[in-house]
Amino acid sequence: MRTAKTVRNILLLAAMVLCTSLTAKAQFQPHAEVFGGYSYMRYNPTGVDVNLNGWNASVNFKLFPVLGIVGDFAGDYGSPGGISSSVHTYMFGPQFSLPSRVSPFAHILFGGGHLNVSGATDNSYAMEFGGGIDVRATHNLGFRLFELDDVYTRFGGFNQNNARASAGIVLRF
């Protein structure tokens, strides 16, 4: 009889733990993270590296604690050799992150890019692969310590692999 009571108590405890974990999982509410900050791009148009500075912004719609859908937008500007230049990118795709106070993330994004060199323009397919680390300061505020990306474009019929680094503020809603 004592064995049956012990088995029943163990089963009851297991059921309570299972229900508690299911309830915790059910409490996840999709939310959004908005990032805005500084961007540095090492643009490589045709074998010559050009330094560009600008901005980077993204919105991450968290579908699950570890998976979100990101829209990433950036503008980088410079005047190498006195020639006014700008590169704008707009990309979308999945982002995987580890939900914790210090949260590493990785993404692969697809979209387009726009190049303007002294009024001459070109549009291109763009792809971005990279990641970074966010640090949560409060429930709604965090900082992107860094984001490092390889931004692939194909302006003027030439392939470009451009390195981009970003840092800034992350707001969570």
Q: Which domains does the chain have, with CATH numbers?
A: 31-172 (2.40.160.20)
Instruction: Name which of 46, 66, 68 is nearest 58 in CA terms.
Output: 68
The C-alpha angle 63, 110, 85, rounded to 5 degrees, equals 125
Q: How far apart are CA 50 and CA 95, in angstroms?
A: 28
53-69 tens-digit pLDDT: 999 999 999 999 999 99
Global pTM value: 0.81
List CB contacts of 90: < 8 A, sequence separation 6 or more: 71, 72, 73, 111, 112, 113, 126
pLDDT of 111 reads: 98
